[in-house]
Amino acid sequence: MALRTEHELHQRRRGRNVGLGLVLAAFVVLVFGLSVVKVTRGDPMQGFDHVVRPEMAPADPATGGNG
């Protein structure tokens, strides 16, 4: 009798592993997409880059303008 290398159990295991792999890949895509949306949707952001920019300073209530 020929040895069956592929049992129904192995197919089920493969299906389970492929399913889990797809779920994990989808989760990575989801977190990436969510990060992109969260970062790009907010108010315009300016990072600190060692250059003085008066428009970044909090508004002065006395003068009604910045700085």
Partner 1 sequence: MSDINANGEVNGTLTGEAGFGDYVSLLKPRVMSLVVFTALVGLLVAPVPVHPFVAFTCVLFIALGGGASGALNMWWDADIDRVMRRTRNRPIPSGRVQPGEALGLGIALSGLSVMMLSLAANVLAGALLAFTIFFYVVIYSMWLKRSTPQNIVIGGAAGAFPPMIGWVCATGSISVEAVLMFMLIFMWTPPHFWALALFMNSDYEKAGVPMLTVTHGKRVTRNHVLVYTILLVPFALAAGFTSIGGPTYLAISLALNAGFLWGAWRIWQRDEATAEADGFATEKAVFKFSLLYLFLHFSAFLLEAALKGFGLGGW
Look up residue 60 and give its two tokens. 């002065």
Residues of this chain that bind partner 1 (CB under 8 A) = 7-9, 12-13, 15-16, 18-20, 30, 33-34, 37-38, 41
Phi, psi of 37 (to 5 degrees): -65, -45
Quote the least distance from Cβ 47 to partner 1, whole Å: 22
Quote the least distance from Cβ 17 to partner 1, whole Å: 9
Question: Please, which residue, 18 or 25, has the CB nearer to partner 1?
Answer: 18
